Homo-oligomer: A and B are copies of this chain.
Amino acid sequence: MTVNCTQLAGSGGRDEVPTSSIGSPDDNERLVRAGLSRVVEPGDLAALKTFAGLDVLEIWELLQRNGPRTERWSARLDDARPERDLERAAAAGVRFVIPGDDEWPDQVEVLADAGQLTRRAGVPFGLWVRGAANLRQVLERSVAMVGARASSSYGEHVAAELAAGLSDNGFTVVSGGAFGIDAAAHRGALAGSGVTVAVLACGADVSYPTRNSALFSRIVESGLVMSELPPGCSPTRLRFLARNRLIAATTLGTVVIEAAVRSGALNSAGWADQCGRAVLAVPGPITSRMSEGSHLLVRERDAVLVTNVEDIIEAVSPLGTRLTSYPQAPRNPIDDLDHDLRRTMDAVPVVNPAPAARIATTAGLDLETTQHCLETLADLGLIQHTPSGWHLTPLTAPP
């Protein structure tokens, strides 16, 4: 381990690091955070307990002392080479963003309150980031889109369409790096205005799955690939689960497109809920198992059912600022008629004219009322008078 704890002793904890927009935390803190990111597994419950109340420099000191409380981490600590990790990252175009950096997205701090959150919370020690965008800026107005790897063509179509629409409305799409809904969401966003963020459960320099490496290359041209794991790390089941908390915490809301009843996407939705973010679900055919998770969220967990981009924007925007226009079919002039007018209208023949008395009987109205209604309908251009009576005005076919 190349960072000597005594070297860092005087540099102060995270609280003293300036957080202004110019600010850049000192190199020692960056090294310590890189080291911790290598040693401590994301969302490790034992770490959350052992390190509660300590700043990163204090955690580092505690680990260096190598007492019985920290034995769990000693093997990884021996292997940790944070300077080499930072160099290796830089060589792969990956930068390490930490609190105090311009790019640090403050909203991930919601994960600090591990007491109120359940398993595997915790703020990442830093974020390993690859790509052209500024992390803080792109995440400012961002929406997570998550769903199944084994998605249907319906799910992929919907993910791509919604992502493109969000992208065109200035929202960054955030997703994982998997096949299926994740990839479709990224592709949709790239087809839109183009900014999308892939949050990985492996190193930001690792293309997993390999067949998505071309997609990752396109993403980093305008957006970002990010991870809390240092370069070279492989994905594991638990890292996927820990990764989900980052997707939820960094975004304004999480949209579940297609998800099985027990799935990573529902885990992400649970994290979004715990982080106080909007949980949205796109419905689908009830004949598709892949939509079961979305329907479950709406039925059992009060997720907001969303069917288009406007619904999503409304749900993730401050209350009342972006109201979805209530869907409206084109109004038919007949809809605005009062009861008697509609009854009269219903009783007027389409072609062969009928006298008012016959129309009155058919309509079940008295003659005077009927006469009055017929004149009103004629004024509206809905019916026409001929010497032998009334008939409907032939309608111009709709376009």
Q: Which residues of A contact B (CB under 8 A)?
A: 39-41, 44-46, 71-76, 79, 119-120, 154, 157-158, 236-238, 260-262, 282-287, 291-292, 295-296, 298-300, 304-305, 307-308, 311, 326-329, 334, 339-340, 342-343, 346-347, 357, 360-361, 363-369
Contacts and interface: CB of A to CB of B under 8 A. Distances in A.
Given A283-B286, A284-B285, A40 B299 contact: no
Given A262-B328, A364-B76, A41 B343 contact: yes
B74 A366 contact: yes
Tell me how many chains of this kind the complex includes.
2
A31 B225 CA distance: 80
Q: Which 3 interchain pairs have the tightest Cβ spacing?
A: A283-B283, A236-B346, A262-B329
Nearest to A332: B262
A78 to B, nearest CB: 9
A157 B292 CA distance: 18
A299 B304 contact: yes
Q: Is the interface of A mostly helix, strand, loop or mixed?
A: helix
Contacts of A299: 304-305, 307, 311
Contacts of A334: 237
Contacts of A307: 286, 292, 295, 299
B295 A364 contact: no
A339 B157 contact: no
Nearest to A299: B305
Contact of A292 (B287, B295, B327): B327
A324 to B, nearest CB: 8
Given A286-B308, A307-B286, A73 B364 contact: yes
A227 to B, nearest CB: 16
Contacts of A365: 72, 75
Contacts of A73: 364, 366
A339 B238 CA distance: 8
B286 A329 contact: no
B296 A327 contact: yes
A251 B82 CA distance: 69
Contacts of A347: 236
A200 to B, nearest CB: 16
A74 B305 CA distance: 52
Nearest to A361: B75
B364 A44 contact: yes
Interface hub of A39, A327, A368 (most chain B Cβ within 10 A): A327
A261 to B, nearest CB: 5
Contacts of A119: 339
B346 A238 contact: yes
A130 to B, nearest CB: 23
B158 A357 contact: no
Contacts of A295: 283, 305, 307
18 contacts: A39-B364, A40-B364, A41-B364, A45-B339, A71-B366, A71-B368, A72-B365, A75-B357, A154-B285, A158-B286, A158-B287, A236-B343, A236-B347, A261-B328, A261-B329, A283-B284, A283-B291, A298-B305
Given A41-B364, A327-B261, A285 B286 contact: no
A11 B40 CA distance: 90
Given A237-B334, A261-B328, A343-B238, A287 B157 contact: yes
B296 A298 contact: no
